[in-house]
Structure 1
Amino acid sequence: NFKSGKDINLKIEPNDKLAIVGMSGSGKSTMVKLLVDFFSPSKGKLTFNGFNSTKVDKHVLRSYVNYVPQTPYIFSGTIKENLLLGSRPDITEKDILKACQIAEIESEIEQLPLQFETKMDENAKILSGGQKQRLTIARALLSPAKILIFDEATSGLDTITEKKVVDNLMKLKDKTIIFIAHRLAIAQRTNNIVVVDHGQIVEQGSHEKLMQKHGFYYNLVEN
C-alpha cells in the first residue's frame, strides 16, 4: 500500500498480477525499489499488511519481496547452486524442475552435458543473455518470496518465449507479481495496468479500459 500525498496512492492486493508502464525515466523502477527498501520514502509511507516498511527489517522484507532486475546476477558455481541462491528451505528436485519449467529454461539446461551440475564462471559464457534472465526468474520462484517484481527481467527474450514465460507466471495463484513492462504486450496480459509519468500515477485499469480513455496509455501503445 503506497501513500504519498498526490503523487502515489496505490494498493496492491495479495496475488495481484500488475504491470507498471511509462516512458523511460518516468519513475517506474524507483517506485518498485521502494518495495524492497533500496530507497526510503522521502514523504508519505509504504505499508505491508498495515506495517510501515521502515519498521520491517530489510532481510525479513526481502524474504517476502524478491526484486529481479534487468541485468541477471550469476556467480561462479553450478547452475543448481545459482538456482538455489536465497531459496526457501527444503527445496526438492521437483521444485527446481517446476521453477525451470515456468521460466522456460528446463529443456535448455537438460541439453547441457552436465545439466544442472554444469559449472559456470561469473560471466556464464555458456548461457545467452536471455537464458541468464530465465535462470534468475527460476531462482526467484524458488525463493520464499510471495511478492515477485520483474523489472524488465524478460528484455533479453524473443517475443514468443517472453509470452510463454509471462503466461506461466500469470497462472501462479499464490504469488503477487509486478512487471515493470518494457513491452506493452506484457501489460496487455495483466488485469491491472498502472501508468506512471514524471513520478506520478496518471492512469490505472485494464488494457481495454485504458485504450478507451485515449490518454497516456493509449499514446504509449499507438506510438
Structure 2
Amino acid sequence: FLDLTIVLMTGLILGLQNMQLFLLVLLAIPLYIVVIIIFTPLFEKQNHEVMQTNAVLNSSIIEDINGIETIKALASEQERYQKIDYEFASYLKKAFTLQKSEAIQGLIKAIIQLTMSVTILWFGATLVISQKITLGQLITFNALLSYFTNPITNIIYLQTKLQKARVANERLNEVYLVPSEFEEKKTELSLSHFNLNMSDISYQYGFGRKVLSEIELSIKENEKLTIVGMSGSGKSTLVKLLVNFFQPTSG
C-alpha cells in the first residue's frame, strides 16, 4: 500500500514536470505486465513441484526417525539412506529450477528498467538540445524517476511471493476444505439391551489372502471380551470391523 501511494504521488509530480517523458515511463509498465503473464503459469507449476517434493522429503525423514529401531533391526539403513538421498536430490533439482526461472524473470525486468532509463535520458537529451526543456529539468526528472520506478519494481517482485503463498494456500485447502464427517447429523445408538453378533465374517486387504475367514462372534450386553493372538492374526482388523472402520468382504 505504501509503494502504491508513492507511485501515484510521484507519477503526478513527474507528469507535471514533463508529460512526454512521463508517457515514456508509462510505456514500460505494459512490458512488465507481459513478463508477469508469461511467467505466471510456469511459476505456479514449479512452486507446486517444489512444495510437493519438500513434503515427501520431510515425511520420509520423520518416518525414518520414528521407525529407526525397525530400520536397524532389518539392517536396511543403506536402502533408506539412498531413498532419502534420491528424494533430497529431486527436491534440490526442483528448487534450483524454480530459482533459475525467477532469476531469468528478474533479468528481463532489469533489462526493461535499464532500457527505460537509457531511453528517457536519450529522449530528454534531445529535448534539451532542442531547448524544449532545460538541463536542470532533465536532471530533476531523472532524480525523481527512481522514486517512481523503485516502488513499481517492489510491486512487480511481489508477484513471485504472492504465487508461492497462493500455491501454499491451495495445498492447505486440500486438507482444510474437506467436509468433516462430524458435520453430518447421525442417529445416536443406544447401548442399552444391546447384543452384537457377527456371522460368517471374512475380510481381505485388496487381492491378498483373507486376514479373517468365516468369523462367528457374539457379544452380549455388559460382557467384556479380550482378543488375543499372534502378530498379524487379524486382531486389529476385527476391531476395526466392529466399529465400522472397514466393511467386511463377506458376511
Q: TM-score category by the smaller chain?
A: under 0.3
More helix by share: 2
Q: Which of 1 and 2 has higher RCO (CA within 8 Å, sep 6+)?
A: 1
- TM-score, normalised via structure 1 length: 0.20
- TM-score, normalised via structure 2 length: 0.18
Say which one has the larger Rg. 2
